[in-house]
Amino acid sequence: MEYYTWILTFHVVAVMSWMAMLFYLPRLFVYHVENIDKKEFIEVVKIQEYKIYKYIGAPAMWATIASGITMIILNPILLDININPWMYAKLISLILLIIYSFSLEKYRKELEKDICKKTGKFFRMYNEMPTMLAILIVGYVITKSFSLLFTSIIILLFAYISYVIMKPKKEI
């Protein structure tokens, strides 16, 4: 346990690095699809998309996972459902965040090959997902509890935000 706090420190820094990619890459996708006719700009954006995913995001995700597993191995009581039921909500949210991260790589590859059919509006909406999951994860970790009310409110709030982003604009 002597090194536990150092591993936790590394874990938090890895999460911050991973989240930076999760927040920024979909924004690059917005710029990419909304400026598709500007070939020189798109080539620069493609390089940025590649580098932020491959050099920052993916390594930070794996560092987050490895340090998290290490903390659980060092402190297995974290997985005791009677003592830490919140951990299971956190882990479910984490799995969704990992799936989201892999989906960004899928979209990045489609954009790189110029075959992505998603719109800027879609990527604006999609960019809200890591924020929602981060709020849930931080809420569970800080309070060390699972609240169905908190979880429902956050999900409904982000469903509404997604609806507002995706709804067609009214013609004036």
> How many domains are contained in the chain?
1
Q: Which range marks the domain in which residue 144 is found?
A: 4-166
Residue 117 inside a domain? The answer is yes
Q: Is 90 annotated as a binding residue?
A: yes
Predicted pLDDT at 168? 85
Residue 77 inside a domain? The answer is yes
pTM beyond 0.75: yes
3-class DSSP state of 108: helix
Given a cut of 80, whether residue 27 has pLDDT beyond it is yes
Q: Is 11 annotated as a binding residue?
A: yes
Residue 37 inside a domain? The answer is yes
Predicted pLDDT at 172? 67
Residue 171 inside a domain? The answer is no
3-class DSSP state of 36: coil
Residue whose pair of structure tokens reads 């996972």 in the numeric block:
65
Taking only the tens place, the pLDDT of each residue in 111-152 is 999 999 999 999 999 999 999 999 999 999 999 999 999 999
Taking only the tens place, the pLDDT of each residue in 104-118 is 999 999 999 999 999
Residue 172 inside a domain? The answer is no
